[in-house]
Amino acid sequence: MDYHQRHVIVTGGAGALGTAVVGALLGMGAICHVPCHTQAEAQGFIHRDNPAVKLSVSGDLSDQAAVERLFAGVPELWASVHLAGGFAAAPIGATDKALLMQQLNINFVSTFLCCRAAVSALAGRGGRIVNVAARAALEWRSGAGMTAYAASKAALAALTVALAEEVAREEILVNAVAPSIIDTPANRRAMPKADFDAWPKVDEVAATIVFLASPDHQVTRGAVVPVYGRA
């Protein structure tokens, strides 16, 4: 896949999955625009010194003005990859409105606003949008004990499919991946007795994302692709 001189936004690019995605894109010649939540996050990003990485401190991506500033600063956008999000596990009795809105904002609203800005930026040229849902977005029963998270990711999956149909004639292909638990150091610490070998690896999930965002990918739209590994 050749991303030579193609501009790609990667939200959540400083996270475990995002670092793998950005690394893969850089290896294929992309120019990666990575918004960070804080200056400390930007300073800790391992790819920060690569001249093809354009870091910014964008703050809260559920803020429409912040998202519009981010996209306005990217010339000739080719693809927008939306990895930013967060997880909260709590039974419904312990999930108040504040936690519900936090999950909706961090997972759904931020992705919605980034998709909106990406469609505007890609208008007339075409391109790619890739979102990140979750297994619970497809298999709702697996969201027991984390209903706010499951609902926010299910909304994101519905957004992906509906938007893909809306912009298909503009040659913008919109898809998502739906990981199970990804094998990251943080997840291993949280679940030390789990079977780590069954979990999909960050590089494997990143490879699917990079393909869906690539110019080589020409036909798939409205897919929410399970990336479960053997989990």
Are 177 and 133 in contact by the 8 Å Cβ rule? The answer is yes
Which structure tokens are listed for 11? Answer: 């939200």
169 backbone dihedrals φ, ψ, rounded to 5°: -70, -10
Are 11 and 84 in contact by the 8 Å Cβ rule? The answer is yes
Strand pairing report for 53-57 and 77-82: unpaired
The residue annotated as part of the active site, out of 45, 78, 108, 149, is: 149
Residues near 216 by beta carbon (within 8 Å), at least 6 away in sequence: 1, 2
Are 25 and 19 in contact by the 8 Å Cβ rule? The answer is no
Q: Is 149 assigned a catalytic role?
A: yes
Q: Work out whether the CA dihedral 136, 186, 52, 55 comes out positive or negative.
A: positive
Say which residue the tokens 């490879």 belong to: 207
The amino acid occupying position 55 is L
Longest dimension (CA), the chain: 50
Show which residues are catalytic.
149
